[in-house]
């Protein structure tokens, strides 16, 4: 049974800093891993999806990596901005179909 964990629950950094968010999963037979962003009271915005055959994906200032052997994924945010402040969630499919298992999220605050 897949379990997904995100540590820390909250992170505060000054503007301009590069940062890494962590995601751990228990089942290395992972299909893919998806990173989302959620602003307060809003829905989820998909940021990056890494297939099991890939090691990383990049979009703008974001880079996500996947290491199945260690059961870890990281989301790297370069040159953070106050607009990056949000909760970041990672999720993995629980087998076939549309069921995603989510971590509890990391609440990021970027201070001007």
Partner 1 sequence: KAGVTQTPRYLIKTRGQQVTLSCSPISGHRSVSWYQQTPGQGLQFLFEYFSETQRNKGNFPGRFSGRQFSNSRSEMNVSTLELGDSALYLCASSPLAGGTTDTQYFGPGTRLTVL
Q: Which residues bind partner 1 (CB under 8 A)?
A: 31-32, 34, 36, 41-46, 49, 51, 89, 91, 93-105
Task: Please enumerate in sequence order all residues whose Cβ is within 8 A of that of 4, keeping only pairs 6 or more positions apart, or say none.
Answer: 23, 24, 25, 26, 90, 91, 92, 101, 102, 103
Positive or negative CA dihedral for 43, 34, 90, 92? positive
Report the candidate in 37, 49, 50 with the shortest Cα–Cα distance to residue 106. Answer: 37
Nearer Cβ to partner 1 (48/80):
48
CB 37 within 8 A of CB 23: no
| Smallest gap from residue 110 Cβ to partner 1 (A) | 22
Nearer Cβ to partner 1 (13/44):
44
| Smallest gap from residue 41 Cβ to partner 1 (A) | 7
| Smallest gap from residue 13 Cβ to partner 1 (A) | 23
Nearer Cβ to partner 1 (4/80):
4
């Amino acid at each position: 049974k897949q379990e997904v964990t995100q540590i820390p629950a909250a992170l505060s950094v000054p503007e301009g800093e590069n940062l890494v968010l962590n995601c751990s999963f228990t089942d290395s037979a992972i299909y893919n891993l998806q990173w989302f962003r959620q602003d307060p009271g809003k829905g989820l915005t998909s940021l990056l999806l890494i297939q099991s055959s890939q090691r990383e994906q990049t979009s703008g200032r974001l880079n996500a990596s996947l290491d199945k052997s260690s059961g870890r994924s990281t989301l790297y945010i370069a040159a953070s901005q106050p607009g990056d402040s949000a909760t970041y969630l990672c999720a993995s499919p629980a087998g076939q179909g549309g069921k995603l298992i989510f971590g509890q999220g990391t609440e990021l605050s970027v201070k001007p």
